[in-house]
């Protein structure tokens, strides 16, 4: 780039009339360019250029500077502008240099001014006098320089100063001056079309004999034709004549390019003729022959400029009034483009064919195979342009095939802008050419699912309006609605749905589900409740639509399941007011009205009926009358509110000091801001009333304020123990106040501390579990009393659901040992299982077999995936139920118990043949003798986790549901099939076992890798549905395998690695640090030790199934180890470095 810029700057010449005079090479600029050619980075280039700019700024401010030196400085400044640096300090010098007498210096000044100034520059006015002088000069070179500057810098304010002089120059004897005068007039036309009067000036020069001037004139006419072609149609014969002169090679031969006479002028003429012949048969008749001759002049195109002219001919032929013979010739030439191996030419061919098809689609039939090939081409731009062609070719016969192609591409596209445009086209074409309404519904459902946010909501409304309004044939309308119900009922069971599909599903099933006898309203309502609960947090608006659909279903049946009723009751107090209102309305329909009254409120198939609205709201008259009778203010109109003077709003904060209440004062006046008394509170005893407490005494208020404080003492912060219900009653009897009714607010205040104390005890038992068994036992009686108290107040049924959380001690984090250590079978190896919790659901075995609870279990399987996300963020999920079972047990305590062990021999022999870890058995006493364990298996090309479930009980276990959720950055595969959240359902007879293999692939390295899980089943021990959470930690070294490298290869890769991690561990008391480092790298990190040189060790490893490589350099010194990890991934270097650092800390 620097060399090209230097050539442009050093080779400044005006035109051929300037005798090809070049400026002498500026030594300082040549030196600067040589420095730039040696730089290795953008930062070095910036440093050199910034230093040179500062040096130029200092030199140009020197008072004793010659014109020759200033010329060299301005040449360097022009070079700086090509790199977009700020050199505004040279603006005034460039303007001054335009006044030089020397042609070279004046040209440098004009060129520098054109590069530095702009139309809105403040110093532009200083240049006007010089421009006028040079425009009036007899030297045509000065005229050319001034005209070029005028075309670039003149604005609307300075245009009047030069416009008359420029208009005279179109009759100059020199063609260079005339050409630049036309360009300047075109600039004036863009600034002010009325002042320039360009059309009349161009007619004076349209018959100029010089083709360079004609090129400028045709360019100006093309701009006028885009604005309004009508005034130019009388000149069409002249334009055709110029084109024929070009075809006859009348211009000088030095204007030819690749044997074509002035091809760029031909392209502009063809575009101009297209504007003039558009929708005009008479003008098009004059254009046809010259277009055919232009095509005939290029029989076999061999270069890109010939293809460009052919493409412009095709565009002109399809823009003017259609001619069959001309279109046939154009379509024949398009085949040259489509048969080319150059994708750029094929792209232009498809674009030209799209223009021809828009006039007559029959011309695309012979190219249909080429179009199909372009659809499968790897070039995305070519595929998109081919899809655009298909949209133009569509008709009722090929709508199905083309729409399938468009939807297939919509599924694979990731460009939201293109998807929006494609969705809009598909919707328009489907509405216009749909073969039947059934196909239209199916197609629109696919668009709603794939397009998602790119689909406007109006498309859904149009589809629902079609289903609701239908046609005049009532039977076909009912068939269409039944088909829609079947389609949306199948979609309802999908795990993920777009918001648009939910919108359509809720309305169609709510309105017309009663038409299909095979769909039970109760089951449909349950499924809608499950979907509404799943999308409530992310899309509350969709939940509202589903609740409204549930209300419609309720109005059509008496069979409402307990699950639906519980869902409505649970969300009737939702924080979302819209959800809350709809749930409460649905409950009112269930409780207060029978099915006949419900059908009147929500009638069947009444979506198209007009709703009568009372604009006077007369039904509120009784409510308003009662409100006015109780003292409410009447409504004021807007004019009445404006007539009320502004009242100063009192601040909600009180900044005045509080006044001590006097014991003798019984009346406290309240004044407004103006000092007027507006209220008076009498604290004396009202007539006919009795106080609920002792007679009020203001001194008691002050006494209670002091009494209520909690001062600090030697024993700590004093907190008075709250009074329980029995204590309050006892104290009331002692004070002879048993007949006094406690105010509701005071009752709440008295009960609140008792609840807070019990809650604090429960949290304390969770936080400090495992520290001291005696302390834990001391908290259990309080929890037991709390459970007994609540159980006495409320009776529970077998269908009620309660939660309990098993509190588990979390062991300190340590990286899991690699295969070589775990094979030893060390019983002290820490388990990878952390953060366990159990959820009990009290459902009897008989109820588990009912339809309702079977649906509830199915709902658990679907919803548990979302719950695992909360488990990952909060590894120890706690139940919100204060009366839950608080059995405290460490899940790792029972790992060595032989009664719950799973025999290693039960595992598949093929897995045990690979390096594998110890069994990590889940402690699940509530599951009875159902044993669950996990084990890691390290293959050479894969990392496997085996989940084992064994039934060692004397009863059969059915519907054992397992849902797994890997942490972000890990991909799971089951039987070589990728699954986002794997889930399994097992039925185990007595003595049977189930094994599930999960292959884990690390996509994004991370320090915190884990596999969360959720297992639920009906336990015969507790006679309830149990759910157990676990979190299985994964080390970064589980997915690393040794990499065999030579020392030379290690050195070569080490230099190419871009991301590193360094750490130094001091105070290590081990004697032989080198052997210890080798042991850690090989046995714990799964890294191949490449070579040990003295006290330095180098090792290499790779990620499983990925090409990422990690290189490790360790150096052992006096009581310290330095590590240096390098890889091509910053996350990989950081993850390996931090876990390796934690291993080294254990050595100190």
User: Would the pTM count as exceeding 0.75?
Assistant: no
- Please give the Cα distance from 1077 to 1112 (Å, whole number): 11
pLDDT of 895-945, one tens digit each? 333 334 455 656 777 777 788 887 778 767 667 778 888 888 888 888 888
The per-residue pLDDT for range 460-473, each reduced to its tens digit, is: 898 998 898 888 78
Rg (CA), the chain: 44
Average pLDDT over residues 502-524: 90
Asked if pLDDT for residue 655 goes beyond 70, the answer is no
At 925 the pLDDT is 67
**DSSP H/E element including 996:** strand 993-1002
Q: Is 721 helix (H, G, I), strand (E, B) or coil?
A: coil
Residues of the chain above pLDDT 70, percent:
74
| Strand residue runs (E) in 152-202 | none
Q: Is residue 812 pLDDT above 80, yes or no?
A: no
Cβ(1122)–Cβ(1137) under 8 Å?
no
Same fold flag, 2-273 and 1040-1145: no
Reference 815, options 990, 679, 1008; nearest CA is 1008
How do residues 390-404 score in pLDDT, each as one tens digit?
A: 888 888 888 888 888
Average pLDDT in the chain:
75
CA atoms within 13 A on the CB side of 1139: 28
- In this prediction, residue 1133 has a pLDDT band, given cuts at 50, 70 and 90, of confident
HSE toward the beta carbon, residue 107, CA cutoff 13 A: 17
Q: Quick one: CATH architecture of 1040-1145?
A: 2-Layer Sandwich (3.30)
pLDDT at residue 683 tops 90: no
How many helices (H) and strands (E) the chain has is answered by 45, 23
Q: How confident is the model at residue 653 (pLDDT cuts 50, 70, 90)?
A: low
Tokens of 751: 């009960």
CA distance 491 to 484: 11
**Predicted pLDDT at 1024:** 65
Q: How far apart are CA 581 and CA 574, in angstroms?
A: 9
For residue 293, name the pLDDT band (cuts at 50, 70, 90).
very high
Q: Which fold has domain 819-1034?
A: Immunoglobulin-like (2.60.40)
Contacts of residue 205, Cβ cutoff 8 Å, sequence gap at least 6? 170, 171, 178, 182, 213, 217
Task: Write out pLDDT tens, residues 88-125.
Answer: 999 999 999 999 988 989 999 999 999 999 999 999 99
Structure tokens that stand for 933 in this block: 């364990």
621: tokens are 């008259």
Give the pLDDT score at 844: 41
Question: Within 10 Å of residue 735's Cβ, how many Cβ atoms?
Answer: 10
Cα–Cα distances in angstroms (integers) from residue 756 to residues 626, 750, 760, 777, in the given order: 43, 11, 6, 20
Q: Domain map of the chain by residue range?
A: 2-273, 433-601, 764-795, 819-1034, 1040-1145
C-alpha to C-alpha distance for 110 and 148, rounded to whole angstroms: 9
First to last CA, the chain: 57
Distance CA 665, CA 668 (A): 7
CA torsion sign, 424 to 429 to 432 to 438? Answer: negative
- The three-class DSSP label of residue 681 is strand
User: For the structural domain made of 2-273, what CATH number should be given?
Assistant: 1.25.10.10
pLDDT (tens digit per residue) in 738-770: 333 333 433 333 344 444 555 444 433 433 333
Per-residue pLDDT, 637: 81
SS3 820: helix
Over the stretch 240-291, which tens digit does the pLDDT of each residue have? 999 999 999 999 988 999 889 999 999 999 999 999 999 899 999 999 999 9
């Amino acid at each position: 780039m620097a060399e090209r810029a230097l050539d442009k700057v050093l080779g400044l010449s005006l035109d051929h009339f300037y005798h090809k005079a070049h400026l002498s090479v500026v030594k300082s600029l040549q030196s600067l360019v040589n420095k730039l050619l040696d730089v290795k980075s953008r930062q070095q280039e910036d440093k050199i250029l910034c230093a040179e700019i500062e040096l130029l700024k200092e030199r140009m401010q020197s008072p004793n500077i010659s014109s020759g030196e200033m010329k060299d400085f301005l040449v360097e400044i022009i070079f700086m502008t090509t790199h977009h640096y700020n050199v505004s300090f040279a603006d005034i010098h460039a303007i001054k240099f335009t006044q030089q007498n020397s042609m070279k210096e004046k040209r440098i000044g004009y060129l520098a001014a054109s590069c530095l100034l702009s139309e809105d520059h403040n110093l532009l006015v200083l240049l006007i006098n010089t421009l006028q002088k040079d425009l009036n000069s007899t030297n045509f070179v000065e005229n050319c320089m001034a005209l070029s500057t005028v075309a670039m810098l003149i604005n609307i304010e300075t245009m009047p100063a030069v416009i008359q002089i420029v208009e005279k120059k179109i009759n100059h004897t020199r063609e260079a001056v005339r050409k630049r005068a036309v360009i300047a007039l075109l600039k004036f036309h863009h600034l002010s079309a009325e002042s320039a009067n360009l059309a009349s000036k161009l007619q004076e020069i349209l018959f100029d004999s010089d083709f360079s001037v004609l090129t400028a004139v045709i360019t100006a006419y093309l701009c006028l034709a885009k604005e309004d072609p009508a005034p130019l149609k009388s000149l069409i014969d002249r334009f055709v004549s110029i084109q024929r002169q070009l075809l006859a090679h009348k211009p000088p031969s030095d204007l030819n390019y690749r044997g074509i006479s002035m091809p760029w002028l031909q392209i502009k003429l063809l575009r101009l003729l297209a504007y003039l012949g558009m929708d005009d048969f008479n003008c098009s008749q004059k254009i046809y022959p010259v277009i055919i001759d232009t095509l005939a002049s290029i029989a076999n195109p061999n270069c890109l400029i010939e293809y460009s002219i052919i493409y412009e001919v095709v565009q002109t032929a399809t823009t003017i009034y259609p001619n069959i013979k001309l279109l046939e010739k154009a379509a024949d030439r398009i085949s040259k483009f489509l048969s080319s191996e150059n994708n750029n030419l094929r792209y232009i061919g498809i674009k030209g064919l799209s223009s021809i098809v828009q006039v007559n689609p029959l011309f695309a039939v012979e190219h249909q195979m080429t179009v199909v090939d372009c659809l499968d081409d790897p070039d995305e731009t070519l595929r998109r342009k081919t899809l655009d062609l298909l949209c133009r070719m569509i008709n009722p016969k090929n709508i199905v095939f083309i729409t399938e192609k468009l939807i297939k591409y919509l599924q694979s596209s990731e460009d939201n802008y293109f998807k929006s445009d494609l969705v809009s086209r598909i919707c328009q074409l489907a509405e216009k050419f749909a073969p039947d309404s059934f196909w239209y519904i199916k197609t629109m459902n696919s668009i709603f699912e794939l397009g998602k946010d790119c689909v406007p909501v109006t498309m859904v409304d149009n589809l629902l309006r079609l289903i609701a309004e239908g046609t005049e044939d009532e039977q076909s309308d009912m068939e269409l609605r039944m088909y829609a119900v079947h389609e949306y009922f199948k979609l309802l069971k999908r795990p993920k749905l777009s918001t648009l599909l939910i919108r359509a599903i809720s309305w169609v099933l709510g309105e017309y589900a009663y038409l299909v006898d095979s769909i039970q309203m109760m089951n449909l309502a349950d499924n809608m409740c499950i979907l509404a609960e799943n999308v409530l947090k992310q899309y509350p608006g969709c939940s509202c639509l589903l609740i409204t659909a549930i209300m419609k279903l309720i109005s059509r049946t008496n069979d409402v399941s307990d699950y639906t009723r519980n869902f409505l009751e649970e969300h009737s107090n939702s924080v979302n007011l819209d959800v809350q209102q709809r749930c409460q309305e649905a409950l009112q329909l269930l409780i207060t009205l029978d099915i006949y009254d419900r059908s009147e409120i929500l009638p069947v198939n009444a979506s198209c009926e007009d709703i009568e609205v009372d604009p006077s709201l007369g039904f509120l008259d009784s409510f308003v009358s009662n409100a006015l009778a109780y003292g409410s203010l009447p409504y004021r109109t807007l004019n009445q509110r404006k007539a009320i003077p502004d009242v100063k709003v009192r601040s909600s904060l009180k900044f005045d000091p509080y006044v001590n209440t006097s014991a003798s004062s019984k009346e406290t006046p309240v004044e407004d801001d103006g000092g007027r008394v507006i209220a008076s509170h009498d604290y004396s005893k009202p007539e006919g009333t009795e106080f609920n407490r002792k007679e009020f005494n203001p001194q008691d208020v002050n006494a209670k304020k002091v009494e209520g404080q909690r001062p600090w003492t030697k024993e700590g912060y004093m907190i008075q123990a709250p009074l329980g219900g029995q204590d309050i009653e006892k104290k009331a009897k002692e004070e002879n106040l048993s007949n006094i009714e406690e105010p509701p607010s005071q009752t709440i205040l008295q009960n609140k501390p008792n609840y807070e104390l019990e809650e604090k005890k429960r949290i304390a038992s969770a936080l400090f579990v495992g520290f001291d068994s005696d302390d834990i036992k001391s908290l259990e009686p309080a929890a037991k009393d709390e459970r007994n108290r609540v159980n006495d107040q409320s009776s529970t049924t077998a269908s009620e659901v309660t939660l309990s959380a098993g509190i588990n001690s979390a062991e300190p984090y340590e990286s899991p040992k690699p295969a070589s250590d775990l094979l030893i079978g060390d019983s002290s190896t820490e388990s990878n299982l952390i953060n366990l919790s159990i959820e009990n659901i009290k459902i009897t075995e008989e109820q588990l077999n009912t339809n309702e609870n079977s649906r509830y279990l199915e709902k658990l399987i679907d919803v548990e995936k979302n719950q695992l996300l909360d488990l990952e963020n909060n590894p120890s999920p706690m139940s919100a139920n204060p009366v839950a079972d608080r059995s405290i047990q460490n899940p790792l305590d029972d790992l060595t118990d032989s009664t719950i062990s799973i025999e290693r021999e039960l595992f598949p022999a093929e897995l045990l043949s690979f390096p594998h870890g110890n069994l990590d058995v889940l402690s699940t006493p509530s599951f009875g003798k159902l044993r669950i364990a996990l084990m890691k298996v390290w293959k050479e090309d894969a990392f496997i986790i085996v989940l084992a479930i064994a039934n060692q009980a004397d009863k059969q276990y059915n519907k054992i549901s397992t849902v797994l959720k890997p942490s972000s950055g890990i991909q799971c595969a089951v039987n070589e099939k990728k699954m986002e959240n794997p889930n399994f359902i097992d039925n185990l007879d007595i003595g049977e076992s189930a094994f599930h293999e999960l292959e884990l692939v690390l996509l994004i390295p991370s320090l915190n890798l884990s596999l969360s899980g959720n297992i639920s089943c009906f336990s015969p021990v507790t006679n309830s549905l149990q759910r157990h959470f676990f979190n299985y930690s994964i080390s970064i070294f589980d997915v690393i395998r040794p990499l065999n490298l030579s020392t030379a290869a290690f050195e070569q890769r080490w230099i190419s690695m871009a991301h590193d991690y360094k750490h130094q561990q001091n105070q290590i008391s081990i004697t032989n640090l080198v052997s210890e480092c080798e042991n850690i790298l090989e046995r714990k990190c799964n890294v191949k030790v490449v070579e040990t040189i003295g006290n330095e060790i180098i090792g290499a490893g790779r990620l499983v199934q990925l090409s990422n490589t990690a290189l490790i350099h360790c150096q052992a010194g006096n009581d310290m180890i330095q590590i240096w990890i390098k890889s091509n991934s910053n996350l990989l270097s950081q993850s390996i470095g931090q876990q390796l650092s934690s291993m080294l800390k254990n050595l100190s």
